[in-house]
Structures are given as structure tokens and as C-alpha cells.
């Protein structure tokens, strides 16, 4: 079984911006409920289909498959709920790990999150200076939930 173990944080400041070049992502959800999701994503010029199980702490099962970008575009247009997730992802190496900083646009404009994937839930992590509050256990920050209740609606 493929397991994703991930911690998620808010990002503070702009110091991270010079550390990587971003890739534009568009993703949507075919199914999302009871903690499980089936997601379609276009990242740059590659398409993916991803199935995720319910989270147990910061871990959950994840299966991801490359698919033709034309198929991913068709699925996003015809099968996925709205709104969709639009973001630019920056992959930043730091102290032996890769931090993925997501700068959201569209309905989630103004939200910037960082994720780091781990090999075990108790793996020690050195935190970069531009990392703020941890939100790993706040389900509002799951992309599948941001598609249902976008960040822009939190302010009202």
C-alpha cells in the first residue's frame, strides 16, 4: 500500500520566493467524501489521477498514476466539481527534505501553504524561517475541502 505522510504549514513572508521556479497546477475532484478522494490534476504538461484514503493523523493511503494530459483536461472540464483548485507549486529543498509551497489563485487567492512529505509520522523536521503555524490537523486546509469551501469564503 502506498502511504502519504505529510505535515502542512502556513507560509509567512516572501523569503521562499527566490528559492524555486513554480509549476502551474489545476486540479479537480471527481469524488470527495468521508475523507476519501479521487482527484484529477494537470501539473505543467503532465496529467495525473490520484486516489486518496481517509487520513489517520498525518498519514493516508495514496495511489497516483500518470495519465495523458489531454485526458486530464477532459476529465477536469467534464467530470470534476467546481470550483477547482488553481495554484502554483514551488519545490524547495531544505535540510534533506523537499518542501512544496503552494500559492493558490482563483477562489483560494491569498492562501499560501507549505507541505513536507515524511518517511514516518515521527520523523524530525527542521523548519525553515518562512514557515508559520502548522495546520496539518485542520481539515479546512485539505485541497479537497478548499474546493468545497474556498479560502475566499472564510473572510465573510
Each residue's pLDDT tens digit, 66-122: 999 999 999 999 999 999 999 999 999 999 999 999 999 999 999 999 999 999 999
List phi, psi (to 5°) of 18: -90, 0
pLDDT for the residue 97: 97
CA dist 57 and 136 (Å) reads 8
Protein fold of 3-153: Hypothetical Protein Pfu-838710-001 (2.40.320)
At 34, list the grid cell: 468521508
Q: Active-site residue numbers?
A: 29
Amino acid at each position: 500500500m502506498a502511504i502519504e505522510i505529510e505535515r502542512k504549514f502556513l507560509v509567512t513572508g516572501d523569503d521562499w520566493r527566490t528559492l524555486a521556479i513554480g509549476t502551474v497546477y489545476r486540479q479537480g475532484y471527481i469524488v470527495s467524501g468521508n475523507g476519501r478522494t479521487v482527484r484529477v490534476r494537470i501539473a505543467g504538461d503532465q496529467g495525473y489521477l490520484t486516489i486518496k484514503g481517509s487520513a489517520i493523523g498525518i498519514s493516508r493511503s495514496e495511489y497516483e498514476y500518470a495519465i495523458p494530459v489531454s485526458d486530464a483536461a477532459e476529465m477536469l472540464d467534464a467530470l470534476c466539481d467546481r470550483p477547482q483548485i488553481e495554484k502554483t507549486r514551488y519545490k524547495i529543498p531544505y535540510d534533506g527534505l523537499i518542501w512544496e509551497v503552494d500559492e493558490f489563485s482563483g477562489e483560494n487567492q491569498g492562501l499560501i501553504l507549505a507541505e513536507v512529505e515524511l518517511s514516518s509520522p515521527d520523523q524530525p523536521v527542521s523548519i525553515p524561517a518562512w514557515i508559520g503555524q502548522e495546520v496539518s490537523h485542520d481539515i479546512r486546509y485539505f485541497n479537497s475541502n478548499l474546493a468545497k469551501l474556498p479560502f475566499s469564503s472564510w473572510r465573510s
